[in-house]
C-alpha cells in the first residue's frame, strides 16, 4: 500500500464507541484515505459490507487503489448530504453503523495546490470537489463588504471581521486575489496581534462557505438517523465549535424523541499520546447516538 497522507483520528475510540460487529453494514460518510475504513472493515469481516462516501476525487483514487482487493468495500463518489440517494442506488436502505469524520483531510491542508493553507502558496481555491461550485478566490473577489464581513464573523467567529472585509475589498480594487499567501498577507496587515495567525479564522470561514460545510452537516443530522437499524449507531467527529454545537443540539433533540440514546455524555477527545503524534487530533470531538 502507498503511504497514507492522512492519519485517522481517535481511531481506537471510534471502534469502541461504534462497536461494529461481524456481518454488519457500515456507512462511512467521509471515506477519505481509508484510515477508519480499514478498521471498520476488519471489524465487520467478510460477511459485512462497508460503504464509503467522499466528494474529493484525489481521495477517491487513493481509496480505490488501497482497497482494490476487497469485494465488500464500495466507494460512492458525491457529497454526504445525498447519502440516502447514493445508498439507494446500490440497493441499501438501512445501515448498522455510521461514521462522519467531517472537515478536511491532512492531504487537503498539506497540498498547496488545493488552496486551504494560508502558510503555503497556492491557488486560492479550497474546494473539496475542485470541479464544483465557487472557489475562495471567487468569493473574496466578488462579495460586497457587508456580507463578506458577516461570513467571516459567522463561520470564523472572527471579532475583526469588518476590518478584514474592508481590507480585502480595498485591496481587490487594485488587484484581484489569486493566491492563498496573497490573501493571508492582506489579512495579516489589517489585523495584527493574537496568539494564532491572523488569517486562521478567515480561512476557516471561507472554507466552510466554499464547501457548504454547515449545511452539509445539518442535512446528515436529519437524514441519517432514519437510516439506522435498531441499535444502530451514528458517530460524528467534529473539529470546531460551530460543528460540535450543531451535533450536540441535534443529538439532544433525537434523544428527546425517545427513539435514540446519547452514548457520549461528554464528547470523546484524543489522548495526550495521540496528540503528540498527530497534532490534528487535538481538536477532534466524537459524539455518538444509538437507535433504541
Q: Which residues bind ligand SAM (CB under 6 A)?
A: 6, 8, 30, 32-36, 53-56, 59, 79-80, 101-105, 128, 216
Select 53 or 92, whichever has its Cβ closest to ligand SAM.
53
Select 8 or 198, whichever has its Cβ closest to ligand SAM.
8
At its nearest, how many Å lie between ligand SAM and the CB of residue 53? 5
CA atoms within 13 A on the CB side of 126: 28
What is the C-alpha separation between 226 and 234, in angstroms, rounded? 11
At its nearest, how many Å lie between ligand SAM and the CB of residue 127? 10
At its nearest, how many Å lie between ligand SAM and the CB of residue 108? 6
Select 110 or 166, whichever has its Cβ closest to ligand SAM.
110
Select 35 or 48, whichever has its Cβ closest to ligand SAM.
35
DSSP line for 166-213: HHHHHHHHHS---BHHHHHHHHHHHS--SSS-TTHHHHHHHHHHHTTH
DSSP line for 1-25: -PPPS-PPTTHHHHHHHH---TT-E
At its nearest, how many Å lie between ligand SAM and the CB of residue 281? 11
Select 123 or 130, whichever has its Cβ closest to ligand SAM.
130
At its nearest, how many Å lie between ligand SAM and the CB of residue 47? 23
Contact call for residues 46 and 24 (beta carbons, < 8 A): no
C-alpha dihedral over 282, 113, 51, 64, to 10 degrees?
A: -120
Amino acid at each position: 500500500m502507498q503511504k497514507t497522507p492522512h492519519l485517522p483520528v481517535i481511531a481506537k475510540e471510534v471502534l469502541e464507541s461504534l462497536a461494529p460487529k461481524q456481518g454488519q453494514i457500515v456507512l462511512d460518510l467521509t471515506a477519505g484515505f481509508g484510515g477508519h475504513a480499514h478498521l471498520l472493515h476488519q471489524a465487520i469481516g467478510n460477511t459485512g459490507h462497508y460503504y464509503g462516501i467522499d466528494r474529493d476525487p484525489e481521495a477517491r483514487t487513493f481509496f480505490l487503489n488501497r482497497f482494490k482487493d476487497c469485494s465488500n468495500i464500495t466507494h460512492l463518489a458525491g457529497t454526504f448530504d445525498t447519502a440516502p440517494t447514493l445508498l439507494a442506488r446500490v440497493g441499501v436502505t438501512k445501515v448498522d453503523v455510521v461514521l462522519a469524520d467531517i472537515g478536511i483531510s491532512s492531504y487537503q491542508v498539506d497540498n498547496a495546490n488545493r488552496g486551504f493553507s494560508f502558510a503555503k502558496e497556492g491557488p486560492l481555491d479550497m474546494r473539496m470537489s475542485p470541479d464544483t461550485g465557487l472557489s475562495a478566490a471567487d468569493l473574496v473577489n466578488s462579495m460586497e463588504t457587508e456580507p463578506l464581513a458577516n461570513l467571516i464573523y459567522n463561520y470564523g467567529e472572527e471579532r475583526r471581521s469588518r476590518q478584514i472585509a474592508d481590507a480585502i475589498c480595498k485591496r481587490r480594487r487594485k488587484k484581484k486575489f489569486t493566491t492563498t499567501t496573497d490573501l493571508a498577507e492582506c489579512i495579516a496587515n489589517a489585523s495584527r496581534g493574537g496568539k494564532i495567525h491572523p488569517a486562521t479564522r478567515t480561512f476557516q470561514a471561507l472554507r466552510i462557505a466554499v464547501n457548504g460545510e454547515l449545511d452539509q452537516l445539518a442535512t446528515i443530522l436529519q437524514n441519517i438517523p432514519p437510516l439506522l437499524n435498531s441499535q444502530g449507531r451514528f458517530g460524528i467527529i467534529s473539529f470546531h465549535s460551530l460543528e460540535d454545537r450543531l451535533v450536540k443540539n441535534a443529538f439532544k433533540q433525537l434523544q428527546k424523541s425517545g427513539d435514540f440514546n446519547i452514548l457520549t455524555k461528554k464528547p470523546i477527545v484524543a489522548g495526550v499520546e495521540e496528540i503528540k503524534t498527530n497534532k490534528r487530533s487535538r481538536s477532534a470531538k466524537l459524539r455518538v447516538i444509538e437507535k433504541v
